[in-house]
Structure 1
Amino acid sequence: MISRRDFLNGAPIAIGAAMTPGLLTACAETGVTDTFALPSGYYPPTKTGLRGSHDGSWEPMHDVVSGITIEHGAPEDDYDLIVVGAGMSGLAAAWFYRDARPDARILILDNHDDFGGHAKRNEFDVGGKFRLGYGGTEAIDTPSHYPDEAKRLLQEIGIEVDRFYTYFDQEFWDREGLSKSILFDAETFGTTKLVPGYGSRPWADFAADMPVSDQAKQEFIRLQTSTEDYIPDLSTDEKYEILRKTSYEDFLRNYARAPEEVINIYKRWGMSFWCVGIDEIPATLIQNYDGGMPGVTHTLPRTGTRNDDPYIFHFPDGNASIARLMVRSMIPDAMPGSTMEDVVLAKADYTALDRPDQAVRIRLNSTAVKMNNLRDGVVMTYMRDGKQHTVRAAHMVMAGYNMALPYLCDELPETQREALLSVPKIPLVYTKVAVPDWRRFKEIGTDFVYYTDGFFKQVEFAYPVSIGGYDAVGSPDEPLVLHMCHVPWVPDTKGPAQWREGRMRILGTPFETFEGHVKHQLSQALADYDFDPERDISAITVNRWPHGYAYSSELIWEPDYADEEDKPWVIGRKPVGRIHVANSDAGAKADTGVAMGQAHRAITEILTSA
């Protein structure tokens, strides 16, 4: 039998070992449709502690990958469409199908105790004050670049993105005198020191406070202020061809002539975005990244392909509000209200998600473990509360983790199986820390601390959004939700292998370890401001995502493909009979617009094949 560790490392496994006792419990009686109701008071957004891929959400699938044999039982119910995954893409797939066929019966399954996938809503009560956080997908990033079908979906569920120009306080940072800070670590720089004002103070003033040599200070200033083209004799296209295969670290060292002391500042700067160190981020990606990474701009000017829009299209719970609006559109009783504004404070009725008399049903705590084609449809078996259930449908959309498909369906061609296994998701952890006030940050003049070598790469404020009667960032004396991001850094391992190793690390890390790092790192940043973590932290929610962001195809190791059809995620999303593949994985980009676009493609395949 293959161990769970092998699954975490991405080893290909044949499903065929003996069934462990208890996994296959007798099916529910045929025709029983009311056994899935959630109890009164069921409300997962208020849960704290270890969330995200919480215990109970991952074990059944890992048992399957470990080699347990699954046999389908007699179908208990029949649907027009089954969707596996109630995240952005799964909900969008159900929405697009229902839009085309309003009377269709749709079952949406998810292995977690809440819908939304990585768009997770975290709620807090801080001294009687209500606060929200995003446990995953945080924004409608660059909506002008969304595919038309995703734009239409947003509009149809009531989202007018232009309203965020009013709701998002773009003057907040200047008005409050807040900017980025760097916390230098003692092991690398000889002392632990917080230096505020990155990007807001004159660079010479900021450099004067840095714990580096005088030469490094001067080189830091030069790097920040120089308008030099470091590859002056080549055309833009020629420079692009060189720099797309040159890491940002090598660019700083070999082209911008930055000393190692300066390079060490930026080693982990892009970890929360690309989830690798700067030794694996192409310099061309820095070209269009508005994140304070210097040196590339005057060598390779911006092309405007990313970040054309301001980064303001954000609900206080991130894209969880988008998921809630999609649910409202399909199951109105589950989400009171009627606007994009009132959904922010609406309390979902989870008991309305899975009622026998409604056309669309969302079934939580349900893990798909086997799917196959029939002559005239599909059959799927899932585990819920330790019991096996089997359902049938005319069509199915796999909108969960694409790499799981080879273990769920034994009908895949070998080329498709290999392609899916080659593109793992990226592990990361979004930790939310509720604090009773943010006076200490105000005194420092910072809303964002970057740690040069911390377990958490950063701590930052909630975004300043006021919508629907909710104010995410009030006065310094009011409660605030801080965001801390952890990505396991495995500097000695390169390429996708580091993400396989990282997911094993995340899944094996207990809540107490995350909690300890939260307290330690906040104490470091606020050391001179009377911060007591036992007194000044109200709650912690750790959103653990061993299978987090979709595979990134932008990094230094990605080969050049002859054409689109050669890309493994394109091979991996091909339909298998009546089983169609959605999810942001199918577009190799952790982006809500991509997730919706892939859902639309999968539904279009179904509609045009009927």
Structure 2
Amino acid sequence: MISRRDFLNGAPMTVGAMLAPSLLSACAETGVTDPFALPSGYYPPAKTGLRGSHDGSWESMHGVVAGDTVQHGAPEETVDLIIIGAGMSGLAAAWYYRDAKHDARILILDNHDDFGGHAKRNEFDVNGTFRIGYGGTEAIDTPSGYDLEAMRLLRGIGVDVDRFYDYFDQDFWDREDLSKSILFDGETFGKTKLVPGYGSRSWEDFAADMPVSEMAKAEFIRLQTSTEDYLPDLTFDEKYALLRKTSYEDFLRNHARAPEEVINIYKRWGMSFWCVGIDEIPATLIQNYDGGMPGVTHTLPRTGSRNDDPYIFHFPDGNASIARLMVRNLIPDAMPGSTMEDVVMAKANYTALDRADQPIRLRLNSTAVKMNNVRDGVVVTYSRHGQRHTVRAGHAVMAGYNAVLPYLCDELPDAQVAALGSLPKVPLVYTKVAVPDWRRFKDIGTDFVYFTDGFYKQVEFAYPVSIGGYEAVSTPDDPLVLHMCHVPWVPDVQGPDQWRVGRSRILSTPFETFEHHVKRQLSQALAGHDFDPERDISAITVNRWPHGYAYSPDLIWEPDYATDADKPWVIGRQAVGRIHVANSDAGAKPDTGVAMAQAYRAVTEILS
């Protein structure tokens, strides 16, 4: 969540003249050559504890939203392009712009202490073994769906998605005989019980172990095995129109005739994907979702799937490696190496990100708090370590959280302000738990546990990817990073407002609470297998994202729009003078390919 502004109307300045006299004096007095230089040893990926939107990254913007007054100062620097946000879209915008204008001077601002946005890298040392986790964006999801410009960028930074067929161990689960499990909670089902083998055992065997009534067991088996069309008198189009406005919960209850005991199993099943309960997920979304939610397939046959491509295009740190590859391409001294393989083990040189003698600078810990159009340019004022600075640029790209744009710039038309205000981002937390081994999971025969009613919706293994000298786990005695996902569960609030409530909850939850639930839920899942959370957890990193996934318009409350021009995210991404809007928010989909496509669109607007 960041932005920019510009003030002066002077001519382009040389690098040596970019600093205001006050800054030059301060440098002379302290002996520092660049007031924005990061200290030696600065290395955020190795931090554990509370990460993601960490303290220090959000306070300045929240102050502006609360009414803090900001005035532009005299510009201290002049650049060709200033980009707000060093996530996927911001880095992509820099890449596309530099690709068109090779000598362009670009300044990228980000409010966090690391680049990559939600593509966050978490590193761990587990008893001398190096382990990496993804703190946010986890994969190149369905690369066949990426547009030509997004694929050109990936190739341009050295990514060849076909290589993941060699790097991703698709046989890992079968070889290790691991399957999915459900942890039934005692409050709902009368008994807390882990039942492994969901989808791998026969449904009769799985149901026999469930702590539900005999009637519910029989109905569960029927739901999983039936080939019945529950709407036989309707055409496909008629079914789709009906089920687009029918929640999956109502479909199970009113069409598939599932009893409440069975429905209760699935209440939170899609929380980590859609971030709402099944009472707000249209049944049409289940049609093409390959995720173990039964009952729809034979009523509404599949027309496609997000898993038409295998889900294997994944670096050990998720798409943080893509961000690192973009940084390497833009600022070579900041990232040693030359291939998509060697970037995985490379240690970024953060001191090289923001040097006065390079055309592209990436400035961390810098929150844009005001931006405006001026004659032939833009001015951006940002807050950094309690001080405010102003930069002038020819153009600006807003590549952070789009909805903060009205708080940064007072030039937006009312319709655009209203549109942006209707698109809250989705709050969620990715917690990474480093453990010294996974033998207890092996003994159970599971790599994934779904909790029917837990603070964390699931715990699952890191993906088995070996690349560039980084080795995935090979034996149950190897250290492992577990992934646990929390989405605030607000069943008494409907629609996007539940995400606003959830955002507040996440931001006010201390690390100790996240830690408590990690220990409690792992102890539940591994009960009877000699698990001691004080002994058997090596480290915990909580990546909280109060403004996480981009707003996605596919849930049950979304209206039908007459044209694309009526869609609020399309209205919201319109350029305001020389301020252009990128980010996945502008495409209404939390997807790296969309973030890149929106960056290309914004840069194309500038170049045209």
Cα deviation, 1:69-98, whole Å, max 9, x if unaligned, reads 110000001000000000000000000000
The SS at the match of 1:488 is coil
Aligned to 1:15: none
SS state at 1:542 partner: strand
Q: Which runs of structure 2 are paired with 1:48-197 in the superposition (5 Å)?
A: 48-197=48-197
Counterpart in the other structure of 2:22: 29
Which residue is equivalent to 1:13? none
TM-fit CA distance, 1:475 = 1.1
Give 3-state SS (helix, strand or coil) of 1:369's partner: strand
**Paired-residue identity, %:** 82
Aligned partners of 2:525, 2:535: CA distance in 1, in Å?
Answer: 16
- Report the secondary structure of 1:29's partner residue: helix
Aligned twin of 2:359: 359
Q: Say whether residues 1:471 and 2:464 are aligned partners.
A: no
Partner secondary structure for residue 273 of structure 1:
coil
Residue 565 of structure 1: aligned partner: 565
Aligned to 1:274, what secondary structure does the other structure show? coil
Question: What letter corresponds to residue 579 of structure 1 in structure 2?
Answer: I
Which residue is equivalent to 1:584?
A: 584
Asked if structure 1 preserves the Cα contact closer than 8 Å seen for 2:23 and 2:35, the reply is: no
Deviation at 1:326, TM superposition (A): 0.2
Q: Deviations over 1:170-210 (max 9, x none)?
A: 11100000010000000000010000000000000000000
Aligned with 2:499: secondary structure?
Answer: helix
Aligned-partner Cα distance in 1 for 2:89–2:244: 30
| Contact 2:194 2:525 survives alignment (8 Å) | yes
Counterpart Cα distance in 2 of 1:157 and 1:199: 39
Are residue 554 (structure 1) and residue 547 (structure 2) matched? no
Q: Which residue of 2 aligns with 1:22?
A: none
Distance 2:407 2:399 in 1: 15
- Say if 1:27 and 1:389, in contact at 8 Å, map to a contact too: no
Change (3 A) 1:193 1:36: same
Provide, for residues 40-99 of structure 1, a one-character-per-residue CA deviation record: whole Å limited to 9, x for no partner: 000000000000000000000001111111100000010000000000000000000000
Per-residue CA distance 1:420-462 (angstroms, 9 max, x = gap): 0110000000000000000000000000000000000000000
Aligned to 1:375: 375
Distance 2:259 2:23 in 1: 70
Change (3 A) 1:312 1:28: farther
**Residue type of the alignment partner of 1:443:** D
Contact 2:20 2:77 in 1 (8 A): no
Q: How does 1:207-222 map to 2 (within 5 A)?
A: 207-222=207-222
Superposition pairs for residues 308-323 of structure 1, below 5 Å? 308-323=308-323
> How far 1:27 sits from its partner (Å)?
8.0
1:408 maps to: 408
2:7 alignment partner in structure 1? none
Q: Residue 471 of structure 1: SS of its match in structure 2?
A: coil
Report deviation, 1:28: 7.5
Partner deviation per Cα, 1:239-267 (whole Å, 9 max, x = no partner) = 11111111000010011110000000000
Bigger shift: 315-324 or 27-36?
A: 27-36
* Structure 2 counterpart of 1:289, one-letter code: Y
CA distance in 1, matches of 2:505, 2:410: 29
After superposition, give the CA deviation of every residue in 1:315-365 in whole Å (9 maximum; x if it has no partner).
Answer: 000000000000000111100000000000000000000000111100000
* Match of residue 453 from structure 1: 453
CA RMSD of aligned residues (A): 1.2
Please give the alpha-carbon distance, in whole angstroms, between the structure 2 residues aligned to 1:27 and 1:299. 67
Who is 2:240 aligned against? Answer: 240
Pick closer, same or farther for the CA change 1:29–1:559 going to 2, 3 Å: same
TM-score by length of 2: 0.95
Q: Which runs of 5+ in 2 are unaligned?
A: 2-18, 28-32
In structure 2, what is the equivalent of residue 23 of structure 1?
none
Which one-letter code corresponds to 2:22 in the other structure?
E
The Cα of 1:237 is off from its aligned counterpart by: 1.1
Structure 1 distance, partners of 2:589, 2:329, is 26
How far does residue 473 in structure 1 lie from its aligned partner after superposition? Answer: 2.2
For residue 500 of structure 2, what is the aligned residue in structure 1?
500
Structure 1 residue 223 and structure 2 residue 223: aligned? yes
Aligned to 1:437: 437
Partner of 2:276: 276
Distance across 2 between alignment mates of 1:28 and 1:607: 33
Cα distance in structure 2, aligned partners of 1:27 and 1:257 = 71
Q: How many residue pairs are counted as aligned between the two chains?
A: 584
- Partner residue in 2 for 1:511: 511
CA contact (8 A) 2:20 2:75 kept: no
Q: Partner residue of 2:6?
A: none
Contact 1:428 1:546 in 2 (8 A): yes
Contact 1:29 1:76 in 2 (8 A): no
Contact 2:118–2:137 (Cα < 8 Å) also in 1: yes
Give the aligned partner of residue 19 of structure 1.
Answer: none
Whether contact under 8 Å (2:91, 2:326) holds in the other structure is yes
